[in-house]
Each structure stands twice: as structure tokens, then as C-alpha cells.
Structure 1
Amino acid sequence: MHVMLQTLGSSIGKKLLMALTGFCFCGFLAVHLAGNLSVYGGPAFFNSYVEHLHSLGVLIHVAEIGLLALALVHVTTGILLFIGNLRARPVRYAVSRRSGGRTWGSATMPYTGFVILAFVIYHLIGFHFADHSTRTVFQIMTDAFASPGVALLYSAAVLLVGLHISHGFWSLFQTFGANHPAYMPVIEKIGMGFAVFVAVGFGSIPIYLWLS
């Protein structure tokens, strides 16, 4: 137990936690997006999907608690790694840090993470904790995205989610040791494809409801 705690407290251990929780969130995003895309089937189809989720009862609450725990670990570990990196390199580089294979996704990883955290809190307040007694979830969505500002804000936010994933997806495989020239390029392409799928999938919904 002491060895395990010591490992998790190290830089490598924190990166493993980030990779594991990030992988779980990628799975959640895929499932969540698949469900949300049912909005294109119309109000009845989408509300039927929502009712099916609610019929799962306690399983939904268990999943929500699990997601909250994953978020706390991911965010806390990310902050600790960010602070550790700042302390290790207190002086800014004199040359561009984007050289040597760095991408926009890797260069902005901590900052997009903070923005995404703020966006998730905003999203939960506006949808999860909204009053569901007089309106269906579809109505809550259409009311929110009737404002072009809100629709564009959501679309911009999920673009940042895609940018975050574009680096995080292949990086988590690298952290787990899957860094091999034979298949890492394939993983990078899959990660980029998944990032585009998430960004376009989630980002299209607010625009669609705004224009409907």
C-alpha cells in the first residue's frame, strides 16, 4: 500500500491517473454524444431517450457519483502537474516551445482544461440542475439555444474540448507505454478523428436547435 501511494504521489503516478481518468472521460463523451445525437430525431425521440436514462434509477446516480470522482481526480492531478511544471521551469523559454513536434493541443492543454472545467460547471447549472418540473429536457435545450450567444458559446466550448482531446487521446496511450513507431501514428490519427467527431457532434447541436 505504501509503495502504491508513493507511486501515485510521484510525477509518473500523477500522469497515470490523468491518463486513466482521461480514458474514462473519452468513453463517457462517446456514449453521451451518441445519446445527444438523438436530438436530430425530433422532440419525441429525444425525450424518449431521456426517459429511458431516468428509468435506470439508481444506476444513473451511481454513474454520476463515479463521474464526479473521476473529475475530482483528473482536475486535482492536472493542477498538481501544472504547478509542478511551473516550478520546474520558472523561466519562460526564449524560443518557441511549439518547436520539436509540439501542437496547439499539447501547448494549450492546461489552459483548455481550466476553460472546460468552467464550461462543465456552467453546463450543469443550465441543464442538469434546471427545473424539469414544467419543461422537458428538449424544451430546456431549445429555450437555451434560442439565444445565438449561448449557442455560439457552446459550440466554441466544445471546439476547445476537441482541441484538448486531440492531444490527450494519444498522450494517454503514450503514458501507458504504447509509444511505438509502428502503431503510434495510427493512434494519433484515431485520436484526431475522435476529437473532430466530438467537436463537430456536440458543436452542431446548439447551432441546429438555434436555427430550427
Structure 2
Amino acid sequence: MNWMMQTLGSSIGKKLMMALSGLCFCAFLCAHLAGNLFIYGGKDSFNAYATHLHSLGPLLTVAEFGLLFLALVHVISGLVLFYQNFSARPQRYQVNASAGGRTIGSATMPYTGLVLLAFVLFHLFQFHFVDKTTRTIFEIVSTSFRNPVTVGCYVLVMIVAAIHVSHGFWSAFQTLGANHPKYMPAIRLLSILFSLIVGVGFGFIPVYVSLIA
């Protein structure tokens, strides 16, 4: 138990926690996007999906607390690692070269992460922590996306999410030991494809809803 606490308290341990929690969130994004696709079937289809989801009762509650735990692990580990890296290198490099494989995703990970954290809180208060006794979830969503500013903000944040996962996805596998010349090119390609699915898949939904609302 002592070695486990020492590992989790080290930089390597924090990176492992970030990698595992990040991959769990990637799996959640896939499931969440699959559920959101019901909106293309119309209001009855989307409302039926939402009703089925809430009928899970305790299972849904456990899943929500699990996501909350993963979020705390991911955010806290990320902030601590960012602070440690910043403290170890208080002065910025004079030349910001990309020869070492540095991408916009890797260079902006802490900042895109904070943007996504703020968005998740906003998203929860807009769609989850609202009164659903007088309106269906489809009505709540369609009313929100009648505002072009809201639609624009959602699309921009989905671009940020795509940038974040474009680096985070393959980086997580690298942290877990998959850094092998034979596998990493395929993992990097999969990371790009996944980021496009996240960006386009989630980003087009508010645009579509605004057009039919």
C-alpha cells in the first residue's frame, strides 16, 4: 500500500491517473455522442432515449458519481503537473520550435482543459440541473439552440475539445507504455480520427437543432 501511495504521489503516478481517467472520458464521449444521435430521429426518439436513460435510476446515479470522481482525478492531476512543470521551468523558451513533435494540442493542453471544464459546468446547468417537469428534454435543447450565440459557442468549444483529445488520446496510450514504433503511428492516426468524430459529431448537433427549431 505504501508503494502505491508513493507511486500515485509521484509525477509518473499523476500521469498514469490522467491517462486512465482521460481514456475513461473518451469512452464516455463515445457513449454520450451515440445517445445524442437520437436527436436526428426527431423529438419523440430523443425524448424516449432520455426517458430510458433516467429509468436506470441508481445505475445512472452511480455512473454520474463515477464521472465526477474521474473529473476530480483528471483535473487535479493535470493542475498539479502543470504547476510542477511551470515551477521547474519558470522562464519560457526563447524559441518555440516544433521540431520535437510539439503540436497545437500538446502546447495548449492545460488551457483547452480549463475551457472544457468551464463548458462542462455550463452544460450541466443548462441541460441537467433544470426543471424537466413542464418541458421535455428536446424542448429544452431546441429552445437553447435557437440562440445563434449559444450555437456558435458550442461549435467553438467542440473545436477546442477536438484539439484537446487529438493529443490526449495518443498521449494516454504512450503514458501506459504503448510507445512503440510499430503501434504509435496507428494510435496517432486513430487519435486524429477520434478528434474529428468528437469535433464534428458534437459540433454539428447544435447547428442541426437550430435549423429545425
Q: What TM-score bracket applies, with the shorter chain setting the length? A: over 0.9
Render the CA deviation track for 1:136-164: whole Å, top value 9, x for unaligned.
Answer: 11100000000000011011111111110
Render the CA deviation track for 1:21-66: whole Å, top value 9, x for unaligned.
Answer: 0010000000000000110000001111111101111100000000
- Partners of 2:136 and 2:25 lie apart in 1 by 26
Shift of 1:99: 3.2
Residues 98 and 107 in structure 1, CA contact (< 8 A), matched pair in contact too: no
Matched residue type, 1:31: A
Q: Which residue of 2 aligns with 1:140?
A: 140
- Partners of 1:112 and 1:98 lie apart in 2 by 19
1:105 aligns with 2:105: yes
Shift of 1:100: 1.6
Q: Which residue of 2 aligns with 1:151?
A: 151
1:201 aligns with 2:201: yes
TM-score by length of 2: 0.98
- Partners of 2:22 and 2:31 lie apart in 1 by 14
- Partners of 2:110 and 2:49 lie apart in 1 by 34
Q: Which residue of 2 aligns with 1:49?
A: 49
Q: Which residue of 1 aligns with 2:131?
A: 131
Render the CA deviation track for 1:81-108: whole Å, top value 9, x for unaligned.
Answer: 0000000110100001433211110010
Residues 105 and 166 in structure 1, CA contact (< 8 A), matched pair in contact too: yes
Matched residues, number: 212
SS at match of 1:176: helix
Matched residue type, 2:165: I
Which residues in structure 2 correspond to 1:41-190 (within 5 Å)? 41-190=41-190
Residues 21 and 73 in structure 1, CA contact (< 8 A), matched pair in contact too: yes
**Unmatched 5+ residue regions in structure 1?**
none
130-139 or 12-21: bigger deviation: 130-139
Matched residue type, 2:52: H
**Unmatched 5+ residue regions in structure 2?**
none
